[in-house]
Amino acid sequence: GKVAKKLAKGSNLKIDQAAVIGAGIMGGGVAYQSAFRGIPAVMKDINQDALDLGINEADKLLAKKVRQGRMSEEKKAEILSTITPTLEDKDLNGTQVIVEAVVENPEVKAKVLADLEDHIGEGGVLVSNTSTISITRLAKNLKRPDKFAGMHFFNPVHAMPLVEIIRGEETSDETIADVVAYSLALGKKPIVVNDCPAFLVNRVLFPYFRAYELLIRDGLDMYRIDKVMETWGWPMGPAYLSDVCGIDTIRHCQDVLATDLPDRMSLVEPSVMDALYQQKRFGQKTDTGFFSYQ
Ligand code: NAD
């Protein structure tokens, strides 16, 4: 806490408006959290359905607070009105923090990030919510790599305190200070980490998913492993966690890691994640993954 507050003192950025690119699980969550904490958020996607879903999720979270008597209807409406869904890049203009949260694909992200640079407001910063891709690598085609960092939120964004802030080779101290300040404004607990594929938390989580896949390959019942982990006391087991994260996203992350950390993170074959992925059973987002949510 103290370290983060001290770092944030180095920031001179006044954040009047943030933006998220990608209105999915993570982008939608960051837009909600920003609006909830009083920072208006533009939410951009290429798909109108994703924007509708993003607004819907924010509405549900706020409606729960109203039901619990913790928020008025007026306040709820006011907060919702500060999330601006859009399909147009021009609506991003003048934003001080842009959070990229599109699909976990290095080529797609590199292109999206390069396009975004032109829309950042004076002195503003660009961050990526990538789970696994090196920030230095993503910065390669940027004009201002000093103004770029990783800002890795956890799912669900509104409930998870931790945010990893990743310093790429060219990220400036000022940019780190700005991103720490934004994290604190969102009510989060930031830690600053050096750059490498998967950063810190996902170097713990992805070997866990991999170990789980190896156990299934060895013939263990995939649902019993979840039961054991829950009985141990973990809030959920690996199968349920995969459904929450999105099996498509996990598969994309595994591909990045198999390439970038090959001696630690080679693909498991046959892979239960891949079997579900091929069947488009992506978890809660498609109503079916390891479990069914219909
Ligand atoms: P998601 O599939 O829920 O959402 C991705 C969204 O990006 C979709 O709505 C899609 O339409 C949109 N999109 C794709 N290309 C776009 C473009 N060019 N411009 C604008 N929007 C575009 O995925 P997610 O789970 O929100 O993951 C997003 C990012 O966050 C990924 O990099 C992922 O690795 C990372 N992340 C995910 C989790 C998690 O638990 N799901 C946790 C931390 C980080």
CATH number for the domain whose boundaries are 2-194: 3.40.50.720
Q: Is the CB of 164 under 6 A from ligand 1?
A: no
Give the per-residue pLDDT at 1. 85
Return the DSSP state at 155: S
**Mutational pocket test of ligand 1: of 20, 21, 25, the residue with most ligand atoms within 8 Å of the beta carbon:** 25
Kind of pairing between the strands at 41-44 and 120-128: unpaired
Shortest-distance Cα residue to atom 43 of ligand 1: 154
Length of the chain: 294
Give the per-residue pLDDT at 101. 98
Whether the model pTM is above 0.90? yes
**Mutational pocket test of ligand 1: of 88, 102, 109, 163, the residue with most ligand atoms within 8 Å of the beta carbon:** 102
Q: Please, are residues 132 and 182 in contact by the beta-carbon 8 Å criterion?
A: no
- Give distance in angstroms: CA of 268 to centre of ligand 1: 24
Distance CA 74, CA 268 (A): 51
Give the per-residue pLDDT at 156. 97
Give the per-residue pLDDT at 93. 94
- Mean pLDDT by groups of 10 residues along the chain of 294 residues: 93 96 98 98 98 98 98 98 97 96 98 96 95 98 97 98 98 98 98 98 98 97 97 98 98 98 97 98 98 96
Decide yes or no: CATH 1.10.1040.50 for domain 203-285: yes
Q: Is the CB of 113 under 6 A from ligand 1?
A: no
Distance CA 29, CA 58 (A): 8
Give the per-residue pLDDT at 122. 87
**Mutational pocket test of ligand 1: of 87, 90, 103, the residue with most ligand atoms within 8 Å of the beta carbon:** 103
Distance CA 198, CA 203 (A): 6
Q: Please, are residues 41 and 18 in contact by the beta-carbon 8 Å criterion?
A: yes
* For the CA of 253, the nearest atom of ligand 1: 34
Distance CA 172, CA 142 (A): 14
Candidates 294, 250, 244; CA nearest to 272 is 250
- Give distance in angstroms: CA of 213 to centre of ligand 1: 24
Q: Is the CB of 133 under 6 A from ligand 1?
A: no
- Give distance in angstroms: CA of 196 to centre of ligand 1: 20
Q: Please report, for the chain, the start and end positions of each structural domain, with discontinuous segments joined by +.
A: 2-194, 203-285
Distance CA 197, CA 257 (A): 7
Q: At what angle do helices 238-245 and 222-232 cross, to 10 degrees?
A: 100
Phi, psi of 86 (to 5 degrees): -155, 155
At 187, the amino acid letter reads G
Q: Write out the two tokens for 195.
A: 């750059």
Distance CA 186, CA 138 (A): 25
Give the per-residue pLDDT at 248. 98
* For the CA of 155, the nearest atom of ligand 1: 40
